[in-house]
Structure 1
């Protein structure tokens, strides 16, 4: 049987344009399976979509999914001073669906619910040890938002966008008992992948891939891909043979620092779409460097750039070194506009900024202390 895993989140016309008559085999025939007693392990919004879809299948097809339990991590302290306690989104979804919840920070000293025969892990954060995997007849499955083995790791969507990749996708894999993201790929978005639309945000792409992954997971269970012997379908592995694989580690605030020596205007807009803000250091009229957040910016044509010419000295920090870079800026007082010229001489219009120690301001006002007139 041939399956084409494409989400309804992508319009039909776009799907047909991207994948004309292209399919792939996710399995050989439909394998018989015992009714599944699933332990679902999830945390964030990406995993919530798979949980909802599994629950719908459980409600409509008890012969496939007989029971569904949920394991989530304990709440975390967040916010300034870590005073707020935040539950993972998956817990509230499980409560709303009336599912039995197991809240734990480790598998150590714990056994899965009696009768569990499949573990499904989606964006969970904990490694499932061999002892747990071996206690479930069908082991475990994982939905991973990349074309494995490309972008193994906890932040594949971030890294796909940061690398300005044109395509991405989803893989359904078995859980490996020794390492994250090294299982057998049982289903995968067909070549060349799902296009990453220009101007998309991290949230938009995550929501779209979550739907693709949820559909792939449930269809895989219907087709019995979780029943050994497994059939690998990872076309990307063959394409990457002999190449160094790219990992997708957790991202930090440092990733959203403006790289003045290299970034162009579209890089600024893209990183804003990923992190919501980008930041830099700028030297003020007292000779002191202060941290500045750009909250809203867009790439603009040079023909639309007007106003008086000024200069600002920015600093890009890499490791323990700081690289000072002078950039031309234009200030249009009449239209309350502020523009910065990037490395390739393209222009960015910045609308709102937040300077350390101050509230959010319009960029024309907020950046005044850093400007000096061009000679």
Structure 2
């Protein structure tokens, strides 16, 4: 039955999510409750976590938004029926008598018993064009892989990891200067628009559900901080994607060698860069600073392929340990870098 065609009884909707990405969709549903003929009966989110320098317990963005709008908030640790707390969480959810559950970056595994509890099941807002980039970090992985397109998939959840039938897709062309931060914000807005579209006529989209081709699937594993370490033997194109894909978290970084050898290499964050179209005019060891200029710091990188010339990366913003971010021009006028200095991997 179409949600928009029900005039007497509103669909009872549970929303489950945790970070800002999910909060954008929750805000859209709050604003569209009347138009969609829905009632948000409960919001599920991760338990409060310690955050900041003071390590104070902090509510998730989704919880903060829910409380602002006087929505009931549930924060179970588990839904496993094998433990008392999980069984109690299932019973609480069932008592809300949900017609549908919307899930966006919730961070808690939903067992089959929970997926089947709502009348129309659970819908997931996933930030990729499934089956590409199933898993925890689809936005990062799309940038790191150099994908030209990504998007949002509204999926009918099943017991697999992002394996459910696809109800609706929205495609987005990735800009050349896109970072994880900017792409996250665009995907969050697209996700909100997409779930509103689906809820306007849920039965229509469920009837046209498309199964995923598992042979085309790949997985977007959660990033580790070590993946931010720059390997200067890689091509400038590869490193530039790494810098964008790691911004703002976990961040791309390298280590600056002390030319006099009096101290250990110092960690430097690389905040933005651009590959140079032309290859190096001078063959130098990868990681070597070719020149420090007002517009960019040129660094020698590896080859795009074995039969091509070495490449060069233009660093435009850096952050030295214990200092604020600085532009190439500020570095040029300072004394942090000189021509011939060397960037290396983590010191052993």
> Normalized against structure 1, the TM-score is what?
0.72
Q: Does 1:219 align with 2:194?
A: no
Unaligned runs of 5+ in 2: 80-85, 303-309, 343-348
Kindly report the root-mean-square deviation, in angstroms, between the aligned alpha carbons of the 2 structures: 3.3
CA contact (8 A) 2:235 2:311 kept: no
Q: Distance in 2 between matches of 1:353 and 1:310?
A: 27
Q: Partner of 2:38 in structure 1? A: 65
Q: Does 1:281 align with 2:255?
A: yes
Task: From the superposition, tell whether residues 206 and 225 of structure 1 become closer, same or farther in structure 2 (CA, over 3 Å).
Answer: farther
1:48·1:90 contact (CA, 8 Å) conserved in 2? Answer: yes
What is the rounded CA distance, in whole Å, between the counterparts of 2:277 and 2:186 in structure 1? 34
Deviation, 1:196, is 0.5
Structure 1 segment 312-327 matched on structure 2, within 5 A: 325-327=286-288
Q: How many residues align?
A: 312
Q: C-alpha separation between the residues in 2 aligned to 1:166 and 1:336?
A: 27
Q: Distance in 2 between matches of 1:30 and 1:97?
A: 22
Q: Is the 8 A contact 2:291 2:297 kept in 1?
A: yes
Three-state SS of the structure 2 residue aligned to 1:366 is: coil
Q: Which moved more, 1:200-209 or 1:245-254?
A: 200-209
User: Structure 1 206/185 Cα, relative in aligned 2: closer, same or farther at 3 Å?
Assistant: same
Describe the shift of the 1:133–1:300 C-alpha distance in structure 2 as closer, same or farther (beyond 3 A): closer
1:149 deviation in Å? 1.1
Structure-2 residue corresponding to 1:231:
208
SS in 2 for 1:169: strand
Q: 1:122 to 1:351 in 2, by over 3 A?
A: closer
What corresponds to 1:53 in structure 2?
A: 28
Decide which of 344, 359, 363 is 2:323's aligned counterpart. 359
The alignment status of 1:209 with 2:187, answered yes or no, reads yes
- How big is each residue's C-alpha offset from its partner over 1:184-227, in whole Å with a ceiling of 9 and x where there is no partner? 111122xxx32101102222222222222222212211212388
Report the counterpart of residue 78 of structure 1 in structure 2.
51
Aligned counterpart in structure 2 of residue 184 of structure 1, from 159, 165, 172: 165
Q: What's the CA shift string for 1:168-195, capped at 9, x where partnerless? A: 111111111x222111111122xxx321
Query: Does the C-alpha gap of structure 1 residues 310 and 331 become closer, same or farther in structure 2, counting only changes over 3 Å?
Result: farther
Query: Residues 347, 205 of structure 1: CA spacing in aligned structure 2 closer, same or farther, 3 A cutoff?
Result: closer
Partner of 1:297: 272
TM-score w.r.t. the length of structure 2 is 0.77
Aligned residue for 1:206, secondary structure, equals helix
Secondary structure of 1:180 counterpart? coil
Question: What are the ranges of 5 or more consecutive residues in structure 1 without an aligned counterpart?
Answer: 1-27, 314-324
CA contact (8 A) 2:23 2:62 kept: yes
Find 1:270's aligned residue among 212, 228, 241: 241
1:1-375 matched pairs, under 5 angstroms: 35-61=10-36, 64-79=37-52, 83-107=55-79, 108=86, 109-110=88-89, 111-112=92-93, 113-176=95-158, 178-189=159-170, 193-225=171-203, 230-233=207-210, 237=212, 242-243=215-216, 245-264=217-236, 266-274=237-245, 275-276=247-248, 277-284=251-258, 285-286=260-261, 289-299=264-274, 301=276, 325-332=286-293, 335=294, 338-343=297-302, 344-355=310-321, 358-360=322-324, 363=331, 365-367=335-337, 371=341
Question: Following the alignment from structure 2 to structure 1, what is the Cα–Cα distance between the partners of residues 101 and 2?
Answer: 23
SS at match of 2:78: coil
Mapped to 2, the partners of 1:31 and 1:233 lie a distance apart of 22
Given that residues 279 and 291 in structure 1 are in contact (C-alpha distance below 8 angstroms), is that contact kept between their aligned partners in structure 2? no
Q: Is the contact between residue 287 and residue 301 of structure 2 (CA under 8 Å) also seen in structure 1?
A: no
Q: Give the C-alpha shift of residue 94 in structure 1.
A: 1.2
Can you list the C-alpha shifts for 1:251-304, whole angstroms capped at 9, x where unaligned?
Answer: 11122211211130x44443333323411234323276534223443326589x
